[in-house]
Amino acid sequence: MAIATTCPYCGVGCGVTARPGADRALTVTGDAAHPANLGRLCSKGSSLAETVGLEGRLLSPRIGGQEASWEAALSLVAARFRDTIAAHGPDSVALYVSGQLLTEDYYVANKLMKGFIGSANIDTNSRLCMSSTVAGHKRAFGSDTVPGQYEDLEEADLVVLVGSNLGWCHPVLYQRLAAAKAARPAMRVVNIDPRRTATSDIADLHLPLAPGSDVALFNALLAEIDARGAADWGYLARVEGYDAAVAAARASDPAATGLDAGDIARFLDLWIGTEKVVTVFSQGVNQSSSGADKVNAILNCHLATGRIGRPGMGPFSVTGQPNAMGGREVGGMANMLACHLEIENPDHRAAVQGFWSAPVMAERPGLKAVDMFRAVEDGRIKALWIICTNPAVTMPDAGRVAAAIAACPFVVVSDIMAQTDTTRLAHVLLPATGWGEKDGTVTNSERRISRQRALFAAPGQARDDWRVLAEVGARMGWPEAFGWAGPAAVFREHAALSGVAGGLGSDFDISALKDIGDADYAALQPFCWPKTSAREGGRFFADGRFHTPSGKGRMLPLTPRPPAAATSAAFPFRLNTGRIRDQWHTMTRTGLSARLNQHIAEPFLEVHPEDAALYGLEPAGLAHVTSPTGTAILRVLVTPRVRRGDLFAPMHWTGETAPSGRIDRLVAAVTDPISGQPESKAAVAGVTPFVAAWYGFAVSAQDFQPDCAYWAKARAARGYRAELAGLEAPADWETEARRLFGLPGAEAMTIADPSRGLARMALREEGRIRAALFVAREPVAVARTHLAGLVGEMDNDALAGRPGGDRPDPGAIVCACFNVGVNTIAAAIAGGAVTVETLGAALKAGTNCGSCRAEIRGLIHAHTATAAE
């Protein structure tokens, strides 16, 4: 039976048609009827079936590492929270939650904390994600309202992507943009990012600005809008602050961007000369100590020109997580209330308190994420409940955060997985149902609310997060307020509260659904908010009606600030961090798919060729990266994609997958003073070569635990693969291999040349390869995809490390859908297939989800350029 649901990954919010079978078998396709994706899915969405197995799942509650009953676990959590509050007050407890919760889960968490515990110490990973946008929207619009719709990206004549790697992070929206541009070649795309990325590929202009200098660039644009008389004076009657904003813009120096003056001029000409312009922004804007100002610098330009809320025009913040937007709706952050109401407004508080019949209402904002973990560290917070997020990995200064959690007197973690860097630190572990098991709603970047639907029964004793929160609320003494029968009842209450908020002027109002029946909730079709008796969906602010006290939009005077930490002799580099195409955050789900691990299987460091030469870094060697807060060892990727003086590393690796690759240990916990969002993209760092005594590559049918200085392990087609490096070589590699893979009795096939530090061995049982290890004094050159495919085979030539002439090595996989490797693509390019289309026809590469099309285009460019030289 086909079930319509929504992808659990990014904020594009694609509709998925799921066909569950026996034993959690699943097929997924894109839902052609869903307005967000119209049938498309990216590599992560198409791999969902490979990530719903029960491997690694947390299936029962645990107290102190021992299995426990739900009754015992819930009673303990309620009692410890109640006792802590009784002894130390409501602010001595905290919830740290997630934009990956469903709206219903999130609503219950927020209600429990703000209305019943009476503290606003509930914050979320959205603080690390889009709190600068929320702050920027509120300053400019008086409310956190995203003005536009996805169609605007297709209808625009110019799309500017600022600090957004849309091609990898919002792939289906990127594909919609790419298709619109292909159909209408006059459309222009500008990409503003210190780094060249897969997204730069469709850009007519890439501006590699200095990290953190976006305010200076958009100030230059505003000054030029004014100078050319391009402001929309009709619209400006509905906007305040123009003169001051322009004066500040004129005073700021565009040279701070480090950009070529001609490139800046081209950008200003394009932007000013194109009425239908959409400025898309994401983490390169938000994750900055001047994040809120960057947002407002962009909004200033759209307000000045009245290019907002009309088809093909407007600022557009793309949200990261599947329900980042839903979290904003329920007021899930420490400085919000509920339904876009204000915690510091007494009328708003009274309305929500009345609606909830709440005994005590939080009266002031609670602690924002970074401050919350500081309060955990210094003992102000004595009981902490972490739900659906992995802060021991993803918070800035993560080593310190992990230590703070470890030292907290009482820590509860709700997760779907048993082993994460955060679950390891919990006193009580609560097993949650995950995607495909839970029911509820999520809201995507364009305010579209869609249903996630259960496909399978809850495994083991896993329970829905909303229910667990409600059960704790009931046990803490409020059974009526937390007595819903199911998610539909929670949704009805949320929709009814949004009607109260709508009455107080909130844009977020879905009160038309306050009486929705269970059957209609089950069948609910995707729709954009608001949804009231008077209005459904649409754009905002074209009419110049805002939610500020004066009712006008607000432009702000902004002065550019460089990133908070200055580079120095010890830390001469600017360390930028972010995402890769096929992994989701800490990889607890995407890491289960062998297919998704084939694209990039270990943490890396992008370094400019001249810096690499200067610092003695070899391509494919290892680098030791240090910052004032921590160290990492990463694979060197020498590339002109990064500016000189900049480094880039991905955020995904953890203690489970590559302990030395945990990048947030290097990122200082500096935040934007307005939004509290950490500066995750502009740490300072130093780099030296990491000189290992030996390097290794291993494959194994069974999971195994490396213990050398550097390792990175990933799921492979048949078992696991790992990159290894150590400071001391063992006396005997064969003994070491047997120990490492746990195969004491296996038959070993070995070639070794100890004088050259070389060893290659395959361990076999009943003739079949169970594991293989390749060691050398320099990074090992073997055909990795080929070797990963030999596990379980009777192959006598495995030690060659590469396939025989009749079986070419595909190389690192580029197209995850059809398993097409970089070498195969290079060969086809050499054979004359030099467009994405001809390569697609020849190899199928890029013809399914399309996530790799940008990279294929990049390969064509690289190979044809080399051939031409």
Ligand X SMILES: Nc1nc2c(c(=O)[nH]1)N[C@H]1C(S)=C(S)[C@@H](COP(=O)(O)OP(=O)(O)OC[C@H]3O[C@@H](n4cnc5c(=O)[nH]c(N)nc54)[C@H](O)[C@@H]3O)O[C@H]1N2
291-305 vs 131-141: helix crossing angle, rounded to 10? 40
Count of alpha carbons within 13 angstroms of residue 77, beta-carbon side? 31
Amino acid at site 608: H
Q: What residues from 117 to 146 belong to the interface with Mo ion (CB under 5 A)?
A: 129
| Residue keyed to tokens 């009328």 | 347
Considering the complex, what minimum distance in angstroms separates the CB of residue 369 from ligand X? 10
Q: In this chain, which residue has its C-beta nearest to Mo ion?
A: 320
Considering the complex, what minimum distance in angstroms separates the CB of residue 322 from ligand X? 9
Compute the distance between CA of residue 126 and CA of residue 102 in angstroms, rounded to an integer.
14
Q: Which of 679, 792, 611 is nearest to 286 (CA)?
A: 679
Give 171 or 241: the residue with its C-beta nearer to ligand SF4: 171
Considering the complex, what minimum distance in angstroms separates the CB of residue 320 from Mo ion? 3
235 binds, among ligand X, ligand SF4, Mo ion, none (CB under 5 to 8 A by kind): none
Task: Find all residues with CB under 8 Å of 806, minimum gap 6, and list them.
Answer: none
Is there a contact between 348 and 331 (Cβ–Cβ < 8 Å)?
Answer: no
Selected from 4, 9, 94, 859, the binder of ligand SF4 by CB under 6 A is 9
Considering the complex, what minimum distance in angstroms separates the CB of residue 234 from ligand X? 31
Give 284 or 803: the residue with its C-beta nearer to ligand X: 284
SS (H, E, C) 628-670: CCCEEEEEEEECCCCCCCEEEEECCCCCCCCHHHCHHHCCCCC
Give 145 or 583: the residue with its C-beta nearer to ligand X: 583
Compute the distance between CA of residue 704 and CA of residue 723 in angstroms, rounded to an integer.
12
Selected from 4, 5, 12, 402, the binder of ligand SF4 by CB under 6 A is 12
Give 340 or 595: the residue with its C-beta nearer to ligand SF4: 595
Give 231 or 370: the residue with its C-beta nearer to ligand X: 370
Selected from 20, 28, 34, 37, the binder of ligand SF4 by CB under 6 A is 37
Considering the complex, what minimum distance in angstroms separates the CB of residue 109 from ligand X? 11
Give 630 or 801: the residue with its C-beta nearer to ligand X: 630
SS (H, E, C) 405-418: HHHCCEEEEEECEC
7 binds, among ligand SF4, ligand X, Mo ion, none (CB under 5 to 8 A by kind): ligand SF4
Compute the distance between CA of residue 644 and CA of residue 686 in angstroms, rounded to an integer.
13
Give 434 or 621: the residue with its C-beta nearer to ligand X: 434
Give 112 or 324: the residue with its C-beta nearer to Mo ion: 324
Is there a contact between 307 and 425 (Cβ–Cβ < 8 Å)?
Answer: no
Considering the complex, what minimum distance in angstroms separates the CB of residue 40 from ligand SF4? 7
Give 78 or 542: the residue with its C-beta nearer to ligand X: 78
- How big is the CA angle at 653 (ends 647 and 658), to the nearest 5 degrees? 105
Q: Which of 68, 62, 81, 69 is nearest to 473 (CA)?
A: 81
Compute the distance between CA of residue 808 and CA of residue 34 in angstroms, rounded to an integer.
41
172 binds, among Mo ion, ligand X, ligand SF4, none (CB under 5 to 8 A by kind): ligand SF4
Compute the distance between CA of residue 22 and CA of residue 34 in angstroms, rounded to an integer.
26
Question: How big is the chain by its Cα radius of gyration, in Å?
Answer: 27
13 binds, among ligand X, Mo ion, ligand SF4, none (CB under 5 to 8 A by kind): ligand SF4
Compute the distance between CA of residue 630 and CA of residue 615 in angstroms, rounded to an integer.
19
Taking the alpha carbons of 715, 719, 723, 727 in that order, is the dihedral positive or negative? positive
Give 42 or 95: the residue with its C-beta nearer to ligand SF4: 42
SS (H, E, C) 708-736: CCEEEEEEECCEEEEEEEECCCCCCHHHH
Q: What residues from 113 to 172 belong to the interface with ligand SF4 (CB under 6 A)?
A: 170-172
677 binds, among ligand SF4, ligand X, Mo ion, none (CB under 5 to 8 A by kind): none
Residue 10 within binding range of ligand SF4, rule CB under 6 A: yes
Considering the complex, what minimum distance in angstroms separates the CB of residue 273 from ligand X? 22
- Enclosing H/E stretch for 477: none
Is there a contact between 124 and 389 (Cβ–Cβ < 8 Å)?
Answer: yes
Chain CA centroid to CA 213, Å = 23
Instruction: Write down the H helix ranges in 131-188.
Output: 131-141, 151-155, 166-169, 171-183
776 binds, among ligand SF4, ligand X, Mo ion, none (CB under 5 to 8 A by kind): none
* Number of chain residues interacting with ligand SF4 (CB under 6 A): 14
Considering the complex, what minimum distance in angstroms separates the CB of residue 363 from ligand SF4? 38
* Number of chain residues interacting with Mo ion (CB under 5 A): 2
680 binds, among ligand X, Mo ion, ligand SF4, none (CB under 5 to 8 A by kind): ligand X
Selected from 4, 5, 13, 176, the binder of ligand SF4 by CB under 6 A is 13
Q: Given the rule CB under 6 A, which residues bind ligand X?
A: 10, 98, 100, 125, 128-129, 162-165, 168-169, 192-195, 197, 211-212, 214, 282-284, 287-288, 320-321, 387-391, 394, 414-417, 420, 432, 434, 465, 576-579, 581, 583-586, 588, 651, 663-664, 667, 680-681
Q: Give the x-and-dash track for 40-59 against ligand SF4 (CB under 6 A).
A: -xx-xx--------------
Is there a contact between 530 and 502 (Cβ–Cβ < 8 Å)?
Answer: yes
Give 13 or 661: the residue with its C-beta nearer to ligand SF4: 13
Considering the complex, what minimum distance in angstroms separates the CB of residue 495 from ligand X? 22
Residue 291 within binding range of Mo ion, rule CB under 5 A: no
Give 224 or 582: the residue with its C-beta nearer to ligand X: 582
Q: What residues from 311 to 330 belong to the interface with Mo ion (CB under 5 A)?
A: 320
Residue 601 within binding range of ligand SF4, rule CB under 6 A: no
Q: Which token pair is 182?
A: 């292909």
| Residue keyed to tokens 């799309």 | 159
Considering the complex, what minimum distance in angstroms separates the CB of residue 596 from ligand X? 9
Considering the complex, what minimum distance in angstroms separates the CB of residue 827 from ligand X? 28
Q: Is 757 exposed, middle or buried (0-12, 13-18, 19+ CB in 10 A)?
A: middle
Q: What residues from 350 to 369 belong to the interface with ligand SF4 (CB under 6 A)?
A: none
Judged by CB under 6 A, the stretch of 12-20, 50-58, 380-388, 642-650 that binds ligand SF4 is: 12-20
Q: Which token pair is 702?
A: 């069974």
DSSP state letter for 116: I
Own/partner contacts of 30-35, CB < 8 Å, gap of 24 or more, are 31/4, 33/4, 34/4, 34/6, 34/450, 34/526, 35/150, 35/448, 35/526
* Residue 424 burial (CB count, 10 A): 17
Q: Which token pair is 521?
A: 């909730």
Judged by CB under 6 A, the stretch of 6-14, 160-168, 330-338, 649-657 that binds ligand SF4 is: 6-14
Is there a contact between 354 and 501 (Cβ–Cβ < 8 Å)?
Answer: no
Give 51 or 677: the residue with its C-beta nearer to ligand SF4: 51
Considering the complex, what minimum distance in angstroms separates the CB of residue 594 from ligand SF4? 18
**C-alpha torsion angle, residues 714, 717, 720, 726 (rounded to 10):** -70
Considering the complex, what minimum distance in angstroms separates the CB of residue 398 from Mo ion? 15
417 binds, among ligand SF4, Mo ion, ligand X, none (CB under 5 to 8 A by kind): ligand X
Considering the complex, what minimum distance in angstroms separates the CB of residue 462 from ligand SF4? 22
Selected from 14, 113, 128, 239, the binder of ligand SF4 by CB under 6 A is 14
Coil, helix or strand at residue 584 = coil
Considering the complex, what minimum distance in angstroms separates the CB of residue 316 from ligand SF4? 16
Considering the complex, what minimum distance in angstroms separates the CB of residue 666 from ligand X? 8
DSSP state letter for 675: T
Is there a contact between 102 and 487 (Cβ–Cβ < 8 Å)?
Answer: yes
Residues that bind ligand SF4 (CB under 6 A): 7, 9-10, 12-14, 37, 41-42, 44-45, 170-172
Residues that bind Mo ion (CB under 5 A): 129, 320
